[in-house]
Structure formats: structure tokens, C-alpha cells
Structure 1
Amino acid sequence: MKVTVKYFGVIAETVGKSEEVLELEQGLSVKELKDQQIKKYQISDAASLQIAVNQNLNKEVELKDGDEVAFLPPFAGG
């Protein structure tokens, strides 16, 4: 399955790109993709990283072909 992964803010700077299309195995979870990308790109501050799938913050979803996954940096409060 193909999934579009978008990177924002400091994560995009770390990764060196703002977007990529990945060919993933069927049934991969968001958590598995997150762990895979953190390891691949050595993303720091992984604990505060937010993930959105099709513009919804949800860590417990199984990815499907055509999904859009966004890696979002920590949000500043205030």
C-alpha cells in the first residue's frame, strides 16, 4: 500500500524533506510507522511528536492505502 507522509517544522528540517510517498506492508499501524520513521531519520524528542492520519490525531489506527500521515512537531502552548 502507498501512504503519503508529510513532515512539518523541525521534523521536516531533520528529515530533509516535507513529504514522501512510502510503500508499506498492509496492516501497518500508525505506531509502527512512527517508530520506523523515528529510527530511520533519528528524530529527536519523539515523545512529544504528534501524528495525524487524514487530518485526525489518532495513534491507534491501522493504515490503509492512500492515507495521509502527518508528523507534527510539539505545539507551543499559551
Structure 2
Amino acid sequence: MVGQGKAVKVKMLFFGPLAERLGEREIEVALEHGTTGNQLIERFELSDFLDSGLRVAIDGQIGASLDTPLRDSSEVAFLPPVSGG
């Protein structure tokens, strides 16, 4: 039984085209304790964005494991691919 009914609050931050598409830059969601970054991505149907170069930072760490359960008050930022010139 994952989490046994406990919930954690997670802040999701969106940047660039994703923020424009969603019409939000920041939302707070309640998740079942034990929810991973990958499960959060599935729930909000963001997998296609990951495939096109979207990066995810958890609590300020880019490339953090998306298989690790999110903690209460975690911050998950969805960052667009960086283009340089």
C-alpha cells in the first residue's frame, strides 16, 4: 500500500512554452505519499515534453532521479531545452 493515505504537497514550476501552454507558471498539488517524479509527469501528461528535451529539476537539482519519491514541500521545475547561439 503506497503511502497509506498520507499526502504531500508539491510545487510545480513551469517555464517557457510549457508555461504559456498551461496558462500557469506555478501550481501546488497534493499527491499521495510515495509519488515519484515520473508519476507526477504521467499524471500531468508531460511525457511528450520530456521526449522533446524538457528538463526536470527537483529541489533545484537538474537531473535528479525521477524514480525517487517526492518529499513534502518539494519543488519540481520543468525547464525548456536551452538553445544557444
TM-score normalised by structure 2 residue count = 0.77
Q: Per-residue deviation at 1:26? A: 0.6
Measure, in 1, the Cα distance between the counterparts of 2:81 and 2:45. Answer: 15
- Map of 1:24 onto structure 2: 31
The DSSP-based 3-state class of the residue aligned with 1:45 is helix
Structure 2: give runs of 5+ residues left out of the alignment: 1-7
- Which structure has the greater CA radius of gyration? 2
- The aligned runs of 1:36-75 (5 Å cut-off) are 36-38=43-45, 44-47=48-51, 48-57=53-62, 58=64, 59-75=66-82
Aligned pair count? Answer: 75
Q: What's the TM-score, normalizing by structure 1?
A: 0.83
Spell out, residue by residue over 1:33-78, the C-alpha distance to the aligned partner (whole angstroms, 9 max, x if none).
1121126xxx753312111101102133210111000011112145
Identity over aligned pairs, percent: 33
Shift of the 76–17 alpha-carbon distance from structure 1 to 2, 3 Å rule, reads: same
One-letter identity of the residue aligned with 2:17: V
